[in-house]
Amino acid sequence: MDYKKVSERVKNAIGGAQNINHITHCSTRLRININDLKKVDIDKLKAIDGVIDVIYQNNQLQVIIGPDVAEVYKYFNSTDNNPSGSNTKLESTSKKKSNIWSRLIDFISGAFTPILPAIIGAGLLKGFIAIFNVIGILPTRSIEYILLSMIADACFYFLPILLAFSAAKKLDTNPYISAVLAGVLVHPTLIKLVTKGTALSFAGIPIKDVNYSSSVVPILLIVWFQSYIEKYLNKHLPKTIGLFVTPVVSIFVSSLIGLIVLGPIGSYVGIYLGMFISFLNNTAPWLAPTIMGAFSPLIVMMGMHYSLFPIAIQSISSFGYDSFFTPSGLVSNLAQSGAAFAVAVKSKEKVLRGTAISTGATAALGITEPVLYGVNLKLKKPLYGAVLGGAIGGLYIGLTRVTSTAIASPGILALALFAKTPTNLLNAIIGMIISFAISFGITMVIWKPKAVKQKDMRISSVTDGLVKNLKDVDDVTFSSGAMGKGMAFESKTGEVYSPVDGEIVMVFPTKHAYGIRSNSGIELLIHIGIDTVQLNGKYFKTNVNKGTKVHRGDKLGSFDIKEVQKAGYDTTIMLIITNTNDYDHVNTDVKYNTDVTSQQMVLTV
């Protein structure tokens, strides 16, 4: 993958760097806050070679790249990541148009996504320490155990500071002042006073004695409050005065409001959240893992999985373990892997089989977007198998009370998180095997691959003109073969004809593209010109609609070659077999760079 080229094409499709309000990434997605959604071309984004899928959810554009997302992200320079001036103003306008729930999910995701590497790294380290402790290499009382535990715990103990910085970046407020506010919450003096039970107050106003180490909600509330204080001061104070006054007022006011009001409110949220988790663990420990094991793929599709982090971290903070997020994610990911490997076993298509194997292996390691969008969701029935496998695996780990010591991307490599006891680790492995096996078995039964067409079928030219090799087309989406095999034409007449007997399944609103399904099952895309979607139908005419039955040689539409070229667009016509993988071969029946007529046979499948 050409990371720079993918980055540039993504920028172009979303309306340029000036349309980016804020951008970050998780393990598989670019997460972009857009200034003007009308400037985003979703279809163009989805057509980019290297983009798996595109979702607009919770006021955020999510471009799914896969494991290479960090490399693509590097080419979004720092000025794009944090544009200033008018863009900041546009962000607030955008937020007013979205509902509170969408803004909340967007804020939580934006706060947690940048700190994931620290959380995952520290979590895995805690897991390995637990393994070495269980097998006797690292005794509990050894200085090495104490030091390594300190290193692993540092991320979680000082989590408010990490969250403060990332939340401030998300809210476009000063992250260094936010870090100071978090430092106030975990300052040794405050911790010491709270531990001793000292009655705290300021100017006669009582301060609740709370230990804020490892907390989540309090610092998010405080940074949110800080952002309003700073914006108000920056708006009403001259810059020369604000340079000195704003930091002082922001730290002083936000710290006191945080200690007296927002911190305690956040702690109560954490307490009641902990009580709810405890209630589930004591009365129905199987419920949450079963539901999450089944529906994790749907939550991932909506991009909402990071919004569950506060619950998992609160569980670790309150009880020392996570009983649903990482355990249920483990069985869900293995279920998706099992479904993909069943596809690999049953499929007779070389490309699909290779995709299923590679993405299935990736899912087993903890990254599921490639297998979800590339195999299971695309084929539907394997996803049903994954849902059932994940549910039954989740039920098992719930009944056996499997827990993890930290949060990580759940997969085989994260098993160290379950090694606090040999029994817990064994049940985690059994849960993985159950979910993989059931998903594999169900998919083997309910999914039937499309039969590979053995009888040759002919496809005719779509216009009168010069036939070209698809590889010579000046658009990598087509020339790379990512859309499927086919050929290209330089039309002499501007008239476009049906190459098969069949049905029109799609007429693009801008009249520049047609989808046809032949009576024999061939799925074809006829795409007129490159980037001609931007003409919005100007110079194009169509004679058919979705559902129209057509015969080979029927006129589909036409376009004005000279006017389209005068507007600066390439008029090459692409004929693509979009279900190429269903066929053993696609043969070219004419020589490239020669003239052909409509109804002349040009391809055989």
Q: List, as one string, the DSSP characters of 421-464.
A: SHHHHHHHHHHHHHHHHHHHHHHHHH--PPPPB-S--EEE-SSS
Instruction: Please report, for residues 407, 475, 491, 493, the alpha-carbon distance to residue 471 in angstroms, rounded to integers and kept in the order given.
Output: 46, 9, 17, 23
C-alpha 469/C-alpha 494 separation (Å) is 19
The burial of 176, by beta-carbon neighbours within 10 Å (0-12 exposed, 13-18 middle, 19 or more buried), is given as exposed
| Residues near 219 by beta carbon (within 8 Å), at least 6 away in sequence | 160, 163, 164, 167, 181, 182, 185, 212, 266
Strand partners, 24: 31
Closest C-alpha to 289, from 108, 381, 145, 427: 427
C-alpha 420/C-alpha 144 separation (Å) is 18
Q: How far is CA 292 from the centre of its chain?
A: 18
- Reported as type and span, the H/E element at residue 515 is strand 513-518
The helix/strand count (H/E) of the chain reads as: 24, 20
Q: Which are the catalytic amino acids?
A: 26
Q: Decide if 213 contacts 219 (C-beta within 8 A).
A: no
Dihedral sign for Cα 69, 431, 403, 309, please. positive
- Reported as type and span, the H/E element at residue 374 is none
Tokens 């939340």 locate to 167
Instruction: Please report, for residues 117, 293, 504, the alpha-carbon distance to residue 514 in angstroms, rounded to integers and kept in the order given.
Output: 44, 40, 7
C-alpha 481/C-alpha 577 separation (Å) is 10
Q: SS3 string of 10-22?
A: HHHHCCCHHHEEE
| Residues near 454 by beta carbon (within 8 Å), at least 6 away in sequence | 584
Phi and psi at 403, nearest 5°, equal: -135, 160
Strand partners, 557: 496, 542
C-alpha 483/C-alpha 141 separation (Å) is 60
